[in-house]
Amino acid sequence: MHRVSKLPVSLRTALLLIVPVAVGLLAACTPDNNQSTFGTAGPVASDQADLFIFIFWIAVVVFILVEGAVIYASIRYRRRSKSDKLPYQTHGNDKLEITWTIIPVLILIAIAIPTLTDIWEQQNGAPTDRGEVLSVEAIGHQWWFEFRYPDHEVITANELHIPVNRPVGFKLESQDVIHSFWVPKIAGKVDMVPLNDNYLWMMADEVGEYYGQCAEFCGIAHAHMRFRVIVHTEEDFNAWVAGMHTASDPPAAGSAEASGKTLFAGNCSSCHTTNSTAPGSYAQEISSQQARWNGWVSDIENSGIVSAPNLTHFGTRSTLASGIKDLNQESLVEWITDPSSIKIGTRMQDHAAIYKTADGKAKLTDDEISDIAKYLLSLKPGSGTTDQTMGASTGGDVDAVELFTTNCAACHSTGDDKIVGPGLAGIGDQAGNRVDGLSADEYLEQSLREPDAYIVDGFTPGLMPNWEKLGDDSIDALVTYLKTMK
Ligand code: HEC
Ligand code: HEC
Ligand SMILES: [Cu+2]
């Protein structure tokens, strides 16, 4: 105490400040912390942690020996008199020099063996002797993560579901810049590089929810590019997969959710898919996502579309905006009103037509935003009775809005905005004048059955898919619906 009180004031305050800061920083290392690499929940992370601890203790021993020798020498042989006479000078000691060359070599070999073994095990692909490998493609986007399960034909975003005690093999990709995939308690980190696939495997040995984080600076919202890993029992995982293939029940007519659904179809569905439950929708979402990306790349400044998180069964998620906020009506309303209040720099706010306002906030009323939020929160696996064939007709009622949302909205807005195809506002009036001799009905039907028979000015052939596969009832319903677009 006596010594400390003699220090200059500024140094004393500095010391007083260092203590809480150091305690604060060290607190981040407690194994309980969500992003701590010490409390591990899988073999890859625990091998990495063990390796760290092993190297750490070797470093501690080296530190104590070397620093001890330095301190001992500087005290024992300190200058004791005012005489300027040099001490006895010695040069070269073969025994000593050989010893201090060999010891570090031995230490480095001791460190290299487990390091190389671990690198080898982790780079060698998912082990096949520890259970059936689950394949996942993880794709980094500014600033969110897309997860595709090719074997199960499921696509989701920002929340990765995996079964416990089963190896998961990841193919890591990026659509834009370099990101990095890291789940501190389970595995990582490996870069997600555009045009160059990387591979990583992980396995979780405890059921629970874990944090993931982009670990490579990738732009303004990098720190807000997180995700969650939800580790299920095998049974719950299978139930989750089954749920992802079960359509939501349609909202009751006249409900807030029904109004939200229509508003979503008009304002949001050019970028977001909400119904990837039907067979075939997996491949379709991949091509829509690519089309959105191509649309953005072809006009980075003004594009009205860009690849975006798949919101199928969004109501079952627990987080919003790639792990930044808890998901609930309130946070969702905040997000839709003004995404930057939660996360700055999103491509959603930069490109969606509804944010082209003076203050950048959505061109929607509070009630409309609340309805959209209610609709999104209602998206959960339904009773399983809803038709599963991409909204195609099964003889009963055909929901033309649903058909349009599922199949068309990725490329066509119902307003004037060009996405991949022309905005369809007014098509009901114009259809009859497009091609001489074709009535509105005939022209619209031809657009769906033989899209390349007539190409709208300024567009390229081959982009508009052929819709014969939807069946006659669905095509009739779509034609009727298109005619209402005055
Ligand atoms: C121009 C394309 C585009 C449009 C249009 C668009 N979004 Fe988005 N949306 C995005 C992108 C990109 C993200 C990812 C943002 C991020 O996290 O950086 C996103 C994220 C979201 C999320 C969070 C998803 C998650 O996994 O947490 C929600 C919810 C959402 N949008 C709802 C909407 C709603 C509602 C509308 C219509 C009012 C809409 N979006 C219109 C591109 C779009
Ligand atoms: C992959 C993108 C894409 C999808 C999905 C798509 N379209 Fe198109 N559509 C286009 C393009 C591009 C054009 C313009 C080129 C042409 O005329 O073929 C177009 C043209 C049209 C036209 C003619 C418009 C006019 O002004 O004459 C109609 C009508 C149309 N689409 C309806 C639909 C409907 C209905 C669906 C859903 C069942 C759909 N499209 C799905 C890309 C798409
Ligand atoms: Cu990133």
CATH number at residue 349: 2.60.40.420
State residue 227's pLDDT score. Answer: 96
State residue 118's pLDDT score. Answer: 93
State residue 25's pLDDT score. Answer: 81
Q: Whose CA is nearest to atom 36 of ligand 1?
A: 268
Q: Within a domain: residue 110?
A: no
Q: With b meaning 16 or more CB within 10 Å and e meaning fewer, what string describes 446-458?
A: bbbeebeeeeeee
Q: Where does the pLDDT of residue 462 fall: very low under 50, low under 70, confident under 90, or very high at 90 and above?
A: low
State residue 89's pLDDT score. Answer: 84
Q: Angle 400-407/256-267 helices, nearest 10 degrees?
A: 40
Beta strands in 50-153 (DSSP E): 134-141, 144-149
208 and 314 in one domain? no
Q: Which ligand has its closest atom nearest to the C-alpha of 362?
A: 1
Q: Is 148 in the pocket of ligand 1 (CB under 6 A)?
A: no
The amino acid sitting at 84 is D
Distances (CA, A) of 54 to 48, 51, 58: 10, 5, 6
pLDDT, tens digit, for every residue of 198-209? 999 999 999 999
411 and 326 in one domain? no
Higher pLDDT, 432 or 82: 432
Domain of 454: which CATH number?
1.10.760.10
Which atom, in ligand 2's list, is nearest to the CA of 403? 38
For residue 197, pLDDT beyond 50: yes
204 and 272 in one domain? no
Q: What is the CA radius of gyration of the chain?
A: 30
- Mean pLDDT to the nearest integer, 176-199: 94
Question: What mean pLDDT value characterizes the chain?
Answer: 89
219 and 139 in one domain? yes
Cβ(36)–Cβ(210) below 8 Å? no
Q: Within a domain: residue 311?
A: yes
Q: Within a domain: residue 127?
A: no
Residues 6+ apart with CB under 8 A from 481: 400, 401, 403, 404
For residue 390, pLDDT beyond 50: no
417 and 341 in one domain? no
Q: Whose CA is nearest to atom 5 of ligand 1?
A: 352
Q: Where does the pLDDT of residue 448 fall: very low under 50, low under 70, confident under 90, or very high at 90 and above?
A: very high
State residue 7's pLDDT score. Answer: 63
Q: Is 456 in the pocket of ligand 2 (CB under 6 A)?
A: yes
Q: Within a domain: residue 307?
A: yes
Which atom, in ligand 1's list, is nearest to the CA of 324? 27
228 and 139 in one domain? yes
Q: Within a domain: residue 229?
A: yes
Print the domain residue range for 455: 400-483
Q: How many CA atoms lie within 13 A of 431 on its CB side?
A: 23
262 and 227 in one domain? no
For residue 389, pLDDT beyond 50: no
Q: Whose CA is nearest to atom 22 of ligand 2?
A: 447
Alpha-carbon distance of 306 to 300, in angstroms, equals: 9
Q: Identify which of 381, 209, 212 has the alpha carbon closest to the alpha carbon of residue 312.
A: 381
- Mean pLDDT to the nearest integer, 323-329: 95
- Mean pLDDT to the nearest integer, 228-240: 96
Q: Within a domain: residue 471?
A: yes
Q: Quick one: how far is CA 395 from the chain centroid?
A: 39
191 and 159 in one domain? yes
Could you say which DSSP state residue 97 is in?
H
346 and 300 in one domain? yes
> Of the segments 153-162, 350-359, 456-465, 472-481, which one has the largest average pLDDT value?
153-162
State residue 386's pLDDT score. Answer: 58
Q: Is 352 in the pocket of ligand 1 (CB under 6 A)?
A: yes
pLDDT, tens digit, for every residue of 61-95? 999 999 999 999 999 988 888 888 888 888 888 99
Helix (H, G, I), strand (E, B) or coil at 191: strand
Cβ(130)–Cβ(203) below 8 Å? yes
**Furthest-apart CA atoms within the chain: distance in Å:** 115
Q: Within a domain: residue 196?
A: yes
Cβ(227)–Cβ(180) below 8 Å? no
State residue 5's pLDDT score. Answer: 52
For residue 393, pLDDT beyond 70: no
Token pair 């067979």 in the structure block, residue: 279
Choosing from 199, 218, 233, the residue where a domain stops is 233
State residue 63's pLDDT score. Answer: 96
371 and 262 in one domain? yes
For residue 2, pLDDT beyond 60: no
Q: Within a domain: residue 295?
A: yes
Query: What separation in Å is there between the alpha carbon of 143 and the centre of ligand 3?
Result: 6
For residue 106, pLDDT beyond 80: yes
Tell me the two tokens of residue 265. Answer: 């179809």
For residue 42, pLDDT beyond 70: yes
Tell me the two tokens of residue 289. Answer: 């996502």
Cβ(392)–Cβ(474) below 8 Å? yes
Q: How many domains does the chain have?
A: 3
Torsion of CA 438, 442, 447, 449, to 10 degrees: -130
270 and 174 in one domain? no
Cβ(423)–Cβ(409) below 8 Å? no
Residue 357's φ and ψ, nearest 5 degrees, are: -125, 170
Choosing from 322, 345, 377, the residue where a domain stops is 377
State residue 205's pLDDT score. Answer: 93
Higher pLDDT, 420 or 222: 222
pLDDT, tens digit, for every residue of 243-272? 999 999 989 989 999 999 988 988 888 889
Choosing from 362, 377, 392, the residue where a domain stops is 377
Q: Is 225 in the pocket of ligand 1 (CB under 6 A)?
A: no
Q: Is 269 in the pocket of ligand 1 (CB under 6 A)?
A: no
Range of weakest confidence among 193-197, 375-379, 466-470: 466-470
Which atom, in ligand 2's list, is nearest to the CA of 478? 35
260 and 199 in one domain? no
